[in-house]
Amino acid sequence: LLPSIDSKPPLLREHRLYQADWLLRFYGFQAKELLDEQNQNFNPLIDPKCNWAIHHMELFPIEINKAPYEMLLRVPGVGVKSAQRIVKARRSGSLDFSGLKKLGVVLKRAQYFITCRDKGLEGLRVNQDSLLRALVSDNGMRKLPQLSRVEQLSFFDEPALSREDVVQCLTGQI
């Protein structure tokens, strides 16, 4: 069935599609990199670039002073202008985290995926669960407890009550 003419598309889904389109046009991503057979929809809690990075942690962290421009574009928190500024600035010397902030890098996201002078941000320990929680927006965090409580039921799950218990309940013989 098609949606009615009066119904509006979900805004978050529309926003994620817009973000993905931007990645395809300006960041050098391919559609098959963003969605595949295992992940057929975008994660509603984080943007597509962060989602891609989390699923490709084997590529990270990258050394910000040595990484090619194309790889800088794949780091969450680094945009096209920031990547261009990084490439230009490292011609005159190596960069550190404070220098990256001045260049417009969003360290709140980028810190988990980069090193500067072969050092990560002090005290930073990363695993996939903590990384996902750190990257989720405040609005998404409010939704996260609700999502974790929801359980998808299946027709094929084992029944909670045994056959004897069901018969006893129906016949009133408890």
pLDDT tens-digit readout, 38-62: 888 898 889 999 999 999 999 999 9
State the DSSP H helix or E strand holding residue 62, giving kind and residue range, or none if neither: strand 62-63
Q: If you average pLDDT over residues 146-164, what whole number do you get?
A: 61
Q: 26 Cβ partners below 8 Å, 6+ apart?
A: 80
The structural domains of the chain, with segments of one domain joined by +, span: 11-142
pLDDT for res 48: 96
**8 A C-beta contact, residue 72 and residue 83:** yes
* Whole-structure pTM value: 0.72
pLDDT tens-digit readout, 130-154: 777 778 866 666 665 554 554 555 6
**Alpha carbon separation from 110 to 95, 135, 150, 162, 164 (Å, rounded):** 14, 10, 31, 52, 57
Rg (C-alpha) for the chain, rounded Å, is 23
Q: Using CA atoms, how far apart are residues 31 and 33, in angstroms rounded to an integer?
A: 5
Of 34-43, 105-114, 118-127, 143-152, the range with the highest mean pLDDT is 105-114
Q: In the chain, what percentage of residues exceed pLDDT 70?
A: 80
